[in-house]
Structure 1
Amino acid sequence: MLVLLPPSEGKAASGRGAPLKPEALSLPGLAEGRAAVLDELVELCVSDEEKAREVLGLSEGLRGEIAKNTGLRTAGARPAGEIYTGVLYDALDLATLDAAARRRARERLLVFSGLWGAVRVDDLIPSYRCSMGVKLPGLGALGAYWRTPMASVLPEAAGEGLVLDLRSAAYATAWKPKGEVAERTATVRVLHAPTRKVVSHFNKATKGRIVRGLLQSAAAPKDPAELVETLRGLGYVVEPKAPARAGTAWSLDVLVDEIH
């Protein structure tokens, strides 16, 4: 099983250890793309702070994020699972998983990123600011930029098992499962049952809890139909929507009564 996650906009501070080693990151097929984005992002932030703030969509109060980007090559790196914070990652709470669940997290979780393309939770990276919605002056829109390298790298990473796609819309633009990979892919919406509406904070927290539950369980669903039964076994109310045509993903609605 491969679980695709969005990153968090807010991030923990960089580590105090060794700096980034790009060659050590997972998915080496993305190395060339990472180098190009890193080069342009650092150069932009070093050479023109105002332009960088505009490109990155930062308010005046977040100007310090630009300085963070200028030091990406020398800042201490730490596991991506510690860098990413926010509602989903708070609910996932990787640090408190037992050893077996942490091993599953290292094997199964893939976090998408405007800067790195995608990383495993144990990949060592510095804190940064660069969302998938950014349009760099040279490389263009990052969602479109990453599609070509992702098209060759992600199907291999997905293997032959289930793909659980929990990415937000901006990060989904970088790779869309196709063909038989799509047929074993499931996306999830979390709905407040009484209103049948998505509530952003609630949606992220529930997805984090879903991933945590899957990692803690010994279950290894091989396809979306098995995932539905696994989630029901974990206590979730799930309404599946099987693909209307070949080569498309399943859609699962998870209904929760309380917003918390």
Structure 2
Amino acid sequence: MLILLPPSEGKTAARRGHPVDLAALSFPGLADARSEVMTALSKVSAHEDASAVLGVGGSLLDEVRRNIGLRDAPAAPAHAVYSGVLYDALGYRSMTVTQKRKAEAAVVVISALWGAIGFGDAVPAYRLSMSVELPGTGRLAGFWRRHLAEVLDERARDSLIVDCRSSTYATVWAGPPERSVGVNVFQERSGRRTVVSHFAKHTRGELARHLLTRRGKQPGTAEQLLRAAGERWTCELEPSSGRKAAQLNIILPGT
């Protein structure tokens, strides 16, 4: 099983530790591409118009400035750096040792800076979105689309791909539709369904945790994923069709 997660916007910076070792990260074939993006990001972040280029407000200026020294900044495991609603719901820290091993083996985070990293990879905190266009590198979604296919195709192999990414990050790589399942979250009230972005992040984190901590074999097919998710939620499965992956719809009750 391969669980794909988006990064969090907010990140917790490590207070101490060694700097990032690009060659030691998962998918070492991405090292040159990561170095290129890191260099471009550091240069942009030193400019007066950095916030505008990176699409962030003035209140995040300290995070933008932190990008300048990424090569020397302390690094920590991705599961400790990424924070926010989804990662809080996943709750890596409260897992058992065995469950943590499962998480580090199954979870891959798709990142605008790193391309793709494992859950245990040590990285510094940074500020960068996949929608940004960096001078000399171009729009990052297109940049990573050219680099991720080979390494993620190899990583996925015959695994079931549980895709918990947001739409921006889902565009950079798509697994084989017959082995991929997108995860959608709806709230139903009086027979009407609506998309709920906050609850979607939280529920996707809860789903990832459930899949990593439940007893029994990990799901290997979309149907098995439906049964596993059905242990906690009301769910339905839209089968894959043509080039479109199957969709797991989790239905939350209205409040």
TM-score (norm 1): 0.94
Distance in 2 separating the partners of 1:52 and 1:235: 44
Give how far 1:244 is off.
2.6
Identify the match of residue 52 of structure 1 among 39, 50, 53.
50
What secondary structure, in the 3-state scheme, does the structure 1 residue paired with 2:17 have? strand
Counterpart code for 1:251: Q
Mapped to 2, the partners of 1:63 and 1:128 lie a distance apart of 12
Letter in 2 for 1:60: G
Which residue pairs with 2:205 in the alignment? 208
Partner of 1:66: 64
Deviation readout 1:218-246 (Å, 9 max, x if unpaired): 331111111111111x222111111232x
Find the partner of 1:155 among 153, 156, 160.
153
1:184 partner letter:
R
Aligned to 2:112: 114
C-alpha distance in structure 2 between counterparts of 1:3 and 1:258, whole Å:
27
Q: Is the contact made by 2:177 and 2:240 (CA closer than 8 Å) also made in structure 1?
A: no
1:22-46 CA distances to partner (integer Å, 9 max, x unpaired)? 1110011211210110111112223
2:188 paired residue among 193, 200, 215: 193
| Pick aligned residue for 1:174 from 161, 172, 175 | 172
Match of residue 124 from structure 2 = 126
| 2:73 aligned residue (72, 75, 78) | 75
Q: Does structure 1 residue 22 correspond to structure 2 residue 22?
A: yes
Using the aligned pairs only, state the percent identity. 41
Structure 2: give runs of 5+ residues left out of the alignment: none
Question: 2 CA distance for matches of 1:136 and 1:173?
Answer: 18
Which AA in structure 1 matches 2:137?
Answer: L
Contact 1:15/1:126 (CA < 8 Å) preserved in 2? no
> Could you list the runs of 5+ residues in structure 1 that have no partner in the other structure?
none
Which runs of structure 1 show a deviation greater than 3 angstroms over 4 or more consecutive aligned residues?
A: none
How far did residue 200 of structure 1 move? 1.0
Alpha carbons of 1:211 and 1:90: their partners in 2 closer, same or farther (altered >3 Å)?
Answer: same
Q: Which residue is 2:232 aligned to?
A: 235
Please report how far the alpha carbon of residue 258 of structure 1 lies from its aligned counterpart in structure 2 after TM superposition.
5.1
Query: Aligned partner of 1:9: which letter?
Result: E
TM-score (ref. length: structure 2):
0.95
Deviates more, 1:193-202 or 1:165-174: 193-202
Measure how far apart 1:14 and its partner are: 2.6
- Residue 3 of structure 1 is matched in structure 2 by 3
Please give the per-residue CA displacement for 1:157-190, whole angstroms capped at 9, x wherever unaligned: 112110001100110121122xxx2211000111
What is the count of residue pairs matched by the alignment?
A: 252
Choose 189-198 or 116-125, whichever is displaced more: 189-198
Amino acid at match of 1:144: G
Which amino acid in the other structure matches residue 211 of structure 1? Answer: A
Q: Give 1:148 deviation, angstroms.
A: 1.2
- Alignment root-mean-square deviation, CA: 1.2
- Separation in structure 2 between the aligned mates of residue 244 and residue 17 of structure 1, nearest angstrom: 47
Query: What CA distance in whole angstroms lies between the structure 1 residues aligned with 2:156 and 2:147?
Result: 14
Matches of 1:68 and 1:10, distance apart in 2:
13
**Deviation, structure 1 residue 125:** 0.3
SS at match of 2:173: coil
- Give, as a single letter, the amino acid of the residue that structure 2 aligns with 1:72: L
CA deviation after TM superposition for structure 1 residue 257, in Å: 1.1
| 1:223 aligned residue (208, 221, 224) | 221
